[in-house]
Amino acid sequence: MSVAKEKKPPGRFRQLWRVYKTTAKSDPTSAWLAALVLLLAIAVGLAVGFVTGDGNVFTLVLWGLSGLITGVLFAMIVMSNKAEKNAYKNIEGQAGAVGAVLDSQIKRGWRTSSMPVAVNAKTREAIYRMIGRPGVVLISEGSSARVQQMLDDEARKVLRSAPGAAVHKVRVTVDDSGVRIYRLLKHVYKLPKSLSRGEVTAVSNRLDALGAHASVPIPKGIDPNRVRAPKRKS
């Protein structure tokens, strides 16, 4: 009886090539931008070699190769960022999209859950919660006009349980009237810090003690296991 060999995971360069092909197919401008970055880096390297090498061919080639390597690195960073943004756009507007992002993209020091702390079972609009150095961040998913009351109600609960914590309300929308899903974490991470690490733990424990998660019905459609955000490579 033959045993099937396990397939080796693709190498780093193959992964990067897949990212390039996928991103270039969905966003052709990203390929042109990456090529521009690559050519610019090579040009800078050759210029530095020409200025500092006094006509020495070896110095010129060395700086040209340095520019090539640097250009490839920055070009792949551009493609990776573009791929991540496109992945966010693919889940934008779906129920559970915020939960998928919170399930896969969070920096250390933040307390969160992929499950909402409040939800409207009929409309599938939901409120998610993050707790970190800036305080408590409440994130709404759905129509901003309808979920505003849900945001306000959840903010009052937080203030009753942790009166010293700052509460930030963030509306995730599919247009620029709020925060787009692909800008969510950047927006949250830029919020001013107001709590120490010990206070973050204390606030998180107080809010967890409310048992809000256990009483929130999760309607069909809000499933972060089905709506996946791109994994950030460390």
Break the chain into its structural domains and give their ranges.
12-91, 97-215
- Residue 232 dihedral angles phi and psi, to the nearest 5°: -85, 125
Task: Indicate the residue type of 44.
Answer: V
Higher pLDDT, 118 or 5: 118
Residue 228: pLDDT band with limits 50, 70, 90: low
Is the pLDDT confidence value at 37 over 50? yes
| 179 C-beta neighbours (distance < 10 Å), count | 18
Tokens at 164, concatenated: 């010293």
Judge if pTM exceeds 0.85.
no
pLDDT digits (tens, 9 = 90+) for 50-109: 888 777 888 888 888 998 898 888 888 887 777 777 777 777 778 888 888 887 767 888
Q: What pLDDT is recorded for position 2?
A: 47
